[in-house]
Amino acid sequence: MLEWGLTKLAKADKNPYICSLYLKVLTVFSEYIIPFSSLRPGKNSFSYVAEAPFFKEFEHSVIQNAKINIEVVVDKHSTMLVFDFGIKGEVISECDRCSDEIKVALENTEKLIVKFGDKTFEEETEEIIVLPHGTQEINIAPYLYEFIHLSMPQRKTHENEKDCNQLVLQKLNELKGDKKSTTMDPRWEVLKNLQL
């Protein structure tokens, strides 16, 4: 999981790349900063919409165009915070079968637990992060970005093959047929008879 948020500030003075990346997160994504120190104990709700400009700020983003509604519920306890993310929306992507543009529906829930501690981060996992005592806010933009990408299906195709670009499918079938007609090297034919 991306270890962004205020924990990067401690490492920023040693690495100029992290420092510039951290400053970008602070400035571009300032609307995604949650000042949890001023929240009341219990559940607090936030709503966000991630669209094309959000994803363009991240290099190498698979998603370029989308409209994702995100509901974040922060359950504030005395020793930790529990973030529940509800992700729902559509992403414009390419069909893996025909390369035409398709809309991919996303719906997912994710959880992030934020604990507070000293500089011992042994407790950190994919779902748990540890922030230094005294931290008062967290920028959730990198977590939203990661959770949205994790919500993408592995295979993105039209639901019905008839909706795919038929010219592309026809060409693929022709190419597939050409592969079947190739003859196998006779030296490899002997391997077919091996019994394992």
The three-class DSSP label of residue 167 is: helix
Residue 121: burial class (beta carbons within 10 Å; 0-12, 13-18, 19+)? middle
Domain ranges of the chain: 6-160
Contact 142, 117 (CB under 8 A): no
Contact 74, 34 (CB under 8 A): yes
Predicted confidence (pLDDT) per residue in 161-181, tens digit:
888 888 888 888 888 866 555
The predicted model scores a pTM of 0.72
Predicted confidence (pLDDT) per residue in 100-157, tens digit:
899 999 999 999 999 988 765 566 778 898 888 888 999 999 999 999 999 999 998 8
> What is the pLDDT, as a whole number, of residue 2?
40
Statement: residue 9 has pLDDT above 60: no
